[in-house]
Structure formats: C-alpha cells, structure tokens
Amino acid sequence: MTALPARNLLGDETSPYLLQHKDNPVNWRPWSDAALAEAKALDRPIFLSSGYAACHWCHVMSHESFEHQETADYLNAHFVCIKIDREERPDLDQIYQSAAQALGQTGGWPLSAFLTPDGKTFAAGTYFPVEDNYGKPAFRKVLADVTRVYAEERDKVTDTAGRVQEALEKVWARDEPKGLNPNIIEAVARRLTQRVDLFFGGMDGVPKFPQPQVFSLIWRAHMRSALTPFANAVVNTLDHICQGGIYDHLGGGFSRYATDERWLVPHFEKMLYDNAGLVELLTLVWQHTRSPLYAARVDETVDWVLREMTTKNGSFASSLDADSEGEEGKFYVWSEAEIDDILGPNEAPFFKQVYGVSTEGNWEGKNILHRLGVLGFLRPDQEAVLTRNRRMLLMARAKRVRPGYDDKVLADWNGMMISALVQAGAVFKKADWHFAAIRAFWAVVESHGEGNKLYHSFREKRGRDETTADGYAHMSRAAMLLFEVTTDPRYLEKAKEWMERVETSFGDPERGGYFLSSAEAGDVVVRVKTAVDLQIANYNGIIAEVQARLYFMTGELKYRERSNATIMAAGAEIERQALGCPTMLNAMEFMVNGVQVVIIGDDRNPDTQALVRAVLDRSVATRVMMLMRPGQKLPANHPAFGKAMEGGKPTAYVCVGQTCSPAITQPGQLANGLLAPPFIQIMQAQMQRQQAQMQQGQMQQGLGGRPPAANLR
C-alpha cells in the first residue's frame, strides 16, 4: 500500500466532531480501508476513539491527552490512531461499544478501544484521565500496558480478540424466528411502570434519560386499560421533565439527560433526536390530558428547533454542545446578581422564587433555572410577567459565547423530527410546523438521496456513506405520516422505494429482521442486528411499524408478512430483554391492533374537516387515518372496502382487524367512539385472534424470566 502521511488527516472530513480534532498532534485517521491497511503493514494495534461533537467528556479527554504533545508522540509511535463520529457511523460505534461491554466495561463516550489490525477488540474503556482519578488509571499507563501486552503477549491479544468477536457474533444474527404472545406488551408495561420513580418520575436511579419510547409504551397501556398507575407514571415523569432543569426555560428544548433524580441538573447538550421524541410523546399525551404545560413545551421546543436547529435548506442540524468557553453549562446558568441586575428589584424576587434562584445557587455556585417547586402553571397575569422576564433573560443570554453547534444533517434524526412536526402540526393546528416538516423532508431527499439510496450524513455539500437501516426506517416513517396528512402519493412512493432498498440490502434472508449495516458495508467486523432501543427508537421496530402502515394503506399483503416476520425475528431477543425493546413492542401492538379510520368526503368540506379534527383530538397511538374522496376505492381487502358516504354526508368508519364500526357522520360520536367501547372490545378481540394465528406459527407464550435492570437501556 501507499503509506499514509505521518500527520493528522481529519482536516478533509465534514464531521464537526472530527474537525474538532484536526489540529491535535495525534496523527488521527478517519475510519477507512487505508487506515486498517496501515495498521497491518506496520503491525501496530489500532487506538480507536469514538465520540460526538456535543460530548463533554470527549472534550475533556481531548484537552487533557490528545492536545498533549508527549502523549500524542507516544500514540503516534505505537498505534494507528482512528477517530470516528459515532453519529456518522452508528454501526461501528455499536459494534465497539458492545465489544467493550463484552470485556466487562460499561461503555459510553468517549469510547477508547484497542483493536488488532483487522479491527477486532482486545481492550477497551471510555474516558481515561491524565492522572489516576475517578477510579480509572491514567491514560499514559493504559497506553504503556497495551503496548507491552501487544509486543510481548501476542497470543493473549489474539485469544482475547477472538473471544470478543465470538461474543459479538453470538449476540447478533444467531436467533431463529420466534413468536410471542401479544399479551407480553401488557406484562412489560406493568414491569416498566413498577420501575418508575414514584416521586420524580423517570426510571428509578441516576442518571435519568427521558426515554420517550418507554413512556409511549406505558401511555398506550393506559389508553387501552384506563388504569391510573400507567397514566400517573407518564404524567409525573413529563411534569418533572417539563419543569426541571433538563428543560431550557429560556430558549426551549430539552437536554440529553439529568444527572440527578429530580431532573434538576442536566448534562447540558441538546440533541435533535431527544427533542423529536419528546415533542411526539408530549403531543400524544396532550391529546388526552389537554395539559397546558405540555402544549407550551411543545410550542417552545418546536420554536427552538425552527429558530436554532434549522439549516439553510430547511433540514435539521444535529446538536448543541454542553460546553462554551471550555466550561460545561456556562451558557445556561445564572448567578443571583445577574438575575437581579437584568430584571430589577420589582420583578426579580418573584422570578427567583418561581425558578429556584438563590445566592448560593443549586449547581457549582450558579443557578440552573427550574420550576420543580410548583409543577403547574400560575395565574395568567403571573405567567405573563414571567414570560416577559424570560424574554429579557434570553436577550441577555444571547450576548454570551454560544455552545458549539453540530450542523451535520443526519437522515435518521431528521426523519424523527419530521415525524414529530407532522403530528404536532396537525394536532395543534400549526401550519408553519406542517410546512417546515415538508421542507425538511424534501431537503433531505435532495441532499441525501442517490437513486433509492440515502446518505447517512450530509454537510458542506458532501454526503458521507450510505445510511444505516435506521436512516431508511425513520425517513420512511416520516414519509408515511406526511402521506397520511397530505394524501400526496409521492410520500407513499418514497416509503415504498426505501423499504425495498431495506429489503434487498439490509434484510437477513435466513432469520428475518434487518441488519444495521448494508450488505455492501465491507468495513465492519460483524453486522449488527438487534431489537433493543439505544439512543433512538430501534430501527427494526420502526421498520415493522412502517411495514404495517404500508399494509394498512395499500392492502399489499407483502407488507403485512414482512411486518410479522420482523417481529418474529426479534422474538428471542425480546424474551431475553423485553424491557429494553419498547419500540418493537409498540410496533407489535400497531400490527395487531392498528386502528384504521377511513373518512370519506371532499377534503374542502367543513364537515369532512370536522371529522378529521375529531380524530386528531384523540390520543390513539396505533391510528392510521385515510381521507378518501367520494368514489375513490379502498384496497379490495380493506375492511371498509365498498363502504360509502351515509346520506350524502362526509362519513367515517373505524376498523380494527376485519371489523368496522357503523357509519359515523357526527364528529362528537367519532371522537367519543375512539376511546370507548365497542372499539376497545374490538381491539381486544383482534388481539386474541392474532394471538391464535401467531401461535400456529411456532409461537411460544409467556414473558420468560425477569430481565435484569441493565437490560433497560
């Protein structure tokens, strides 16, 4: 091979995270065949560092070690150093995070992995300090130990790398298809609810992540059963998240997680995907509770996305950093004196009382604004004063040095935000959100699309790598939701096109389900295939939902078969760690209990729109709505096939399985019916029929053993 130059090669990359490290004295290489070949030619181990632009501890390790000349010299002399952006290559990151866990490490970012020249892991950790600290050895000691072992105990290195590789291959792609009793969904919802913090919401323990997929599953259980423990778990969690310090009360948007049990102290980075998931969940719950708090947080968060996270072509950027001026959270926190100076003696005292501001502060001598003392809203006149106060503070904050901004456009995260905007825009009657979703969708198609392929990441007019399966999954879901609200067939065709690409390049022909990397990805040591939710909703679960939506919309049986096969492919994994698979379980419910609402009428007729509004006003997560013009035909196998308007009036039919309601012409009757018997009874009967059918396909019943807490990721 032609030798790579002995210098840092990240300057030609597009990832802001990689570009953050382009001036390090470390001779970083991006992940490439050339870098792996260099390691083989030099017979050196690979030091792999994975992180992302908004990662605080990634910055710390960079400042302490990667910017340190002596440490860099050691790395350059003994290793081939590769840096990856985990958001650009989620497949690689998941492989090496799992390898770290196979070696007994917890995983996280920055990931520090040591690989053989063929890419197999023999040692790993996360952040290593410059000196022994935090219960971790100094980074230089780790490097010296790895260098010695690689030079003197090569057999040990080879054996460890081989065992880790075997563990990865055993975890992924080895399960045979296995069916499940659909009642597992209720059992998982109960077990998850038992693990919710009764006082502050969220899953018990720290740190606390919002986990919208988990709480969507619990909320659905409440809507099916009307049992209050499910509702309390979700509402208490959302109330604390919305009023805690994890929410930016001045600029809108949620941080990635809280470091404490009360949701007071955030890890200040803001990620697009977290905010997409929370906007969607808050919208779903608002449809039932009509909570003004949830409506406000959706409005403010979408405003933040459109104001700060929208790129020039209308797509959405990835994240805002936790750090500014080298300090975590500096942009967001306040001293009491600053509040007093900006708001003045007449209004500062009341604001400080409501937002928990004190002389000593609540975090490292400063104040994180929060409203945990009073979870609800105050009188309208008081809220009006507080709104004016927040605007004054936001204007003052705008003069500060802003956190770092990662403006790369990721297909999967954009799909999530587009889906959230489509649903929230329809529910809250926000035309600008609707148009923003449409603009973002076609911006991603234009920038990321190449035939029926999608790039995963796009920045500076350059696309990077075909997207992993999650990009196709989330963009296809966005397309289906846009089709539902616009009836524009272009969205349906895009979803079909992308799902065919998924089928041919990501499908597992032997055991069903889909790999994260395509068959053409030759630079991975193993192809990941999982149903477990990690940072975002699991791609196999989203694919199963999209396939179900395609079946309901088109009547094409292949989509029903694919959805069922995807769910069955995950059966064994769900049995092992059911609490970690909420997205797949939600998809299972969608396939079994999809509520198909057919509205027949001219979409310009106010009576037709009143029926549509009645549907949008109800919290039905498994709903598919089809707006049909008079005379337009449904698929022949649709349960409402052949039905027409009643008495010449716009008419709705609600169907579950092959059973439909009588004709409905009154919006109130439609809205009430979606939440009351007989439709609940229809759904339960459909689940029983589906259970019987699935048992004929080699299904096994029961939840199996109680999964350990670690399985809830």
* DSSP assignment of 151-213: HH-HHHHHHHHHHHHHHHHHHSS-PPP-EE-TTHHHHHHHHHHHTB-TTT-SBSSSSB---HH
Q: Cβ neighbours of residue 321 under 8 Å, at least 6 residues apart? A: 53, 54, 269, 403, 404, 405, 406
Distance CA 527, CA 531 (A): 14
Tell me the CATH architecture of domain 10-171: 3-Layer(aba) Sandwich (3.40)
Q: Which residue has the higher pLDDT, 4 or 682?
A: 4
For 357-392, the pLDDT digits (tens) are 999 999 999 999 999 998 999 999 999 999 999 999
Q: What span, in angstroms and rounded, lies between the C-alpha atoms of 652 and 608? A: 9
680 pLDDT above the threshold of 90? no
Question: Which two structure tokens, joined as six digits, stand for 361?
Answer: 């502060």
**Can you read off the two tokens belonging to residue 601?**
């009428």
Instruction: Return the SS3 of 376.
Output: coil
Class of domain 179-323+406-592+701-711: mainly alpha
Per-residue model confidence (pLDDT) at position 558: 97
Helices and strands in the chain: count of H runs, count of E runs = 25, 22
Q: Stretch 190-202: mean pLDDT, rounded?
A: 98
Helix (H) or strand (E) holding 709: none
- The answer to whether 541 and 583 have CB atoms below 8 angstroms apart is yes
Name the least confident of 63-77, 209-223, 673-687. 673-687
Helix (H) or strand (E) holding 587: helix 582-593
Whether the predicted pLDDT of 110 surpasses 50: yes
Residue type, 438: I
- Provide the residue ranges of all domains of the chain, joining segments of one domain with +: 10-171, 179-323+406-592+701-711, 332-399, 594-676
The better pLDDT of the pair 458, 107 is held by 458
Q: What is the pLDDT of residue 97?
A: 96
The percentage of residues in the chain with a pLDDT greater than 70, rounded to a whole number, is: 94
**Percent of the chain at pLDDT above 90?**
88
In this predicted structure, what is the pLDDT of residue 704?
34
Q: Is the link from the previous residue into 207 a cis peptide, with omega within 30 of 0?
A: yes
pLDDT at 335 over 90: yes
Distance CA(401)–CA(414), nearest Å, equals 27
CATH topology of domain 594-676: Glutaredoxin (3.40.30)
Nearest to 710 by CA among 580, 552, 605, 584: 580
Asked whether residue 664 carries a pLDDT value surpassing 80, the answer given is yes
- Compute CA distances 468 → 33, 173, 502, 592, whole Å: 18, 16, 9, 27
Q: What band does 1 get if pLDDT is binned at 50, 70 and 90?
A: low
User: Global pTM?
Assistant: 0.93
**Interatomic CA distance for residues 701 and 678, integer angstroms:** 27
Residue 708: band (very low, low, confident or very high) from pLDDT cuts 50, 70, 90:
very low
Across residues 27-47, what is the average pLDDT?
A: 97
Buried b (16+ CB within 10 A) or exposed e, 313-331: ebbbbbbbbbbbeeebbbb
Inter-CA distances, 593 with 216, 234, 287, 449, 689, Å? 15, 22, 19, 33, 11
Residue 473 CA to residue 90 CA, distance in Å, equals 14
The per-residue pLDDT for 707 is 30
Cα dihedral: 672, 677, 678, 679 (round 10):
70
597 three-class SS: strand
The C-alpha atoms of residue 586 and residue 548 are separated, in whole angstroms, by 12
The torsion angles phi and psi of 266, rounded to 5 degrees, stand at: -85, 160
> Helix axis angle, 69-78 relative to 139-152, nearest 10°?
20
Q: Mean pLDDT lowest for which of 7-11, 25-29, 176-180, 205-209? A: 176-180
**Strands 319-320, 462-466: pairing kind:** unpaired
Q: Residue 700: pLDDT above 70?
A: no
Burial class from Cβ neighbours inside 10 Å (0-12, 13-18, 19+) for residue 83 reads buried
Token digits of residue 430? 């926000």
What's the Cα-to-Cα distance from 600 to each of 549, 607, 640, 661, 664, rounded to whole Å?
19, 11, 11, 14, 10
Task: Determine the length of the chain.
Answer: 713
401 contacts 450 by C-beta, under 8 angstroms = no
Q: Is the pLDDT of residue 400 over 90?
A: yes
Q: How confident is the model at residue 679 (pLDDT cuts 50, 70, 90)?
A: very low
659 vs 653: CA distance, rounded Å: 10
The predicted-structure confidence for 603-629, as pLDDT tens digits, reads as follows: 999 999 999 999 999 999 999 999 999
Query: Could you read off the pLDDT of 210-262 as tens digits, one per residue?
Result: 999 999 999 999 999 999 999 999 999 999 999 999 999 999 999 999 999 99
Tokens of 318: 């990835």
> Rounded CA gap, 70 and 73, in Å?
5
Q: Is the predicted pLDDT of residue 26 greater than 80, yes or no?
A: yes
Enter the tokens of residue 570.
């995950």
Provide the pLDDT for residue 709: 30
Distance CA 671, CA 290 (A): 15
Q: Which of 589, 590, 544 is nearest to 565 (CA)?
A: 544
202 — alpha (psi -120 to 50), left (phi > 0) or beta? Answer: left
For the chain, the distance separating the N- and C-terminal CA atoms, rounded to the nearest angstrom, is: 42
Residues 244 and 251 sit within 8 Å (Cβ to Cβ) = no
pLDDT for residue 701: 34
What pLDDT, on a 0 to 100 scale, did the predictor assign at position 104? Answer: 94
- Other C-beta atoms lying within 10 Å of the C-beta of residue 397: 17
> Using CA atoms, how far apart are residues 288 and 674, in angstroms rounded to an integer?
12
Residues 6+ apart with CB under 8 A from 498: 452, 454, 472, 475, 476, 479
Is there a shared CATH topology between the 10-171 domain and the 594-676 domain? yes
Burial class (CB in 10 A: 0-12, 13-18, 19+), 413: buried
Q: What is the mean pLDDT of the chain?
A: 93
Per-residue pLDDT, 677: 42
Decide if 454 contacts 471 (C-beta within 8 A). Answer: yes
Residue 425 clears pLDDT 90, i.e. is over it? yes
| Mean pLDDT value across residues 422-448 | 98
Q: Both tokens of residue 487?
A: 């009836």
Instruction: State how far the Cα of 124 lies from the Cα of 106, in Å rounded to an integer.
Output: 10
Q: What is the pLDDT of residues 642-654, one digit of tens each?
A: 999 999 999 999 9
Phi, psi of 421 (to 5 degrees): -65, -40
* Phi and psi, residue 325, nearest 5°: 55, 35
Half-sphere exposure of 162 (CA within 13 A, CB side): 6
